[in-house]
Structure 1
Amino acid sequence: MTELAGTAQDTGRPTQRSQAKADRRAALLDAAASLFSERGFNGVSIEDLGSAAGVSGPAVYRHFASKQAVLAALLVGVSERLLDGGTRVEDAADDPASALRALIVFHVDFAVTEPDTIRVQDRDLDSLPGEERRAVRRLQRRYIELWMRVLGRLHPSLSPDELRMRVQAAFGLINSTPHTARVGGTSVDAATVRPVLERMAWAGLNAH
């Protein structure tokens, strides 16, 4: 008799148990971004993280060895996602101008959808152990260099120092969204924020 194939392992699909574990890990990281943003890394306990994600404090250790490991997964993970996403954007573009516009849209989308992560990175990066902190810095440098490469193709006369300065200034503008996208104490709708940031970033990167 021939056995029927098609288990999750046979097809490469996650099992129900592994998917549930991945979902719980993602929920913990989402909770960490929100709580670290609101209270700071030192103001949040393992029990706080577990409660926010719907599990007990000790259950957090099934996914992360420590609170610092949660922070590392959050910040290293977002740096990897930015670099991977930026690389895909660059590879898919037909020309430098299209690549730069697409990178701006990509990074603005990150800023308006993950403001908590930006706040945590700005404030709590130094709470990471040295190795993880260096990993974040390396990924950030590669992401900056990707933007410099694209901008340099569009403006070949610019020096590396000026390319770097323009890119970092654009990041400063876009990443200020979590702190500045409020008028009179009221949050500004993302649909309003996006085109303004995209126009300003484009103008700053291409200033004469």
Structure 2
Amino acid sequence: MTSGLTERDRAKADRQAAILREAARLFAERGFSGVSLEDLGGAVGVSGPAVYRHFANKQALLGAILVQVSERLLRGGQDVLARESDPRARLEALIAFHVDFALRDADVIRVQDRDLASLPDDERRRVRRLQREYVELWIGVLSDIHPERDQADLRVRAHACFGLINSTPHSMRGARQPAGDRTVRPILESMAQAALTS
């Protein structure tokens, strides 16, 4: 078998992914403190204690959600820069990538906004470091487009753009994909472009 994974390994990985997905949904709905291990187990069809086979505790589960998404954002941003060489094409691709993230991972954005402080210090620092590295990718691209502006100016613009895009999970709660995507995506992309290139 080329993947090197047994059927049991794949089943375990699938169950772990399901737990992460349902945990993000439940944490987004009720907050970290409002969700029990029994709630998490029930959402994926296992007992609460069975969750311990995958995660040491509820904090470890929250950490996995927020660290993994921060790693995925950084890796995705790096991939964009590796694919594109023109600064404006890079910016356009970064915006599209981040809009995809906001529309696909709305629950995780809500969890990050509300429950980051519930992480242990070392994991919270790791998340913050990964996020800073992601921001720096954007700053580098913006520096190429606006060489006359200083880093502080560009950092404010980048964070304002993230605020615009990441507000979508809060403003779109009633909308359902893919109809919501078709309506919201072009608005977010054009507004972000306008904010960052003006």
TM-score range relative to shorter protein: over 0.9
**Percentage identity across paired residues of the two chains:** 62
User: How many Å separate the matches in 1 of 2:3 and 2:168?
Assistant: 39
> 2:171, 2:3 → 1: CA distance?
44
Unaligned runs of 5+ in 2: none
Paired residue for 2:114?
A: 123
* Superposition map of 1:21-40 within 5 A: 21-40=12-31
Q: Secondary structure at the match of 2:149?
A: coil
* Other-structure match for 1:166: 157
The residue that corresponds to 1:143 in the other structure is 134
Correspondence 1:55-94 to 2 at 5 A = 55-94=46-85
User: CA–CA distance in 2 between the matches of 1:112 and 1:139?
Assistant: 20
Q: Which is higher, the Rg of structure 1 or of structure 2?
A: 1
Measured against aligned partners, the alpha-carbon deviations of 1:182-205 in whole angstroms (never above 9, x if no partner) come to: 6xx656711110000000001001
Q: Does 1:97 align with 2:68?
A: no
Tell me by how many angstroms 1:12 deviates.
Answer: 3.8
**Residue number among 134, 139, 143 corresponding to 1:152 in the alignment:** 143
Moved more, 188-197 or 137-146: 188-197
Corresponding pairs, count: 196
Moved over 2 A (4+): 185-188
Distance in structure 1 (CA, Å) of the matches to 2:64 and 2:25? 14
Q: CA deviation at 1:94?
A: 2.7
The runs of 5 or more residues in structure 1 that have no matched partner are: 1-7
The aligned residue for residue 104 of structure 2 is 113
Matched with 2:40 is: 49
CA distance in 2, matches of 1:14, 1:193: 39
User: Could you say what the CA RMSD is over the residues aligned between the two structures, in angstroms?
Assistant: 1.2
Deviations 1:132-163 (A, max 9, x none): 00000000100000100011111111100011
Q: Following superposition of structure 1 onto structure 2, how do residues 189-204 of structure 1 map, counting pairs within 5 Å?
A: 189-204=180-195
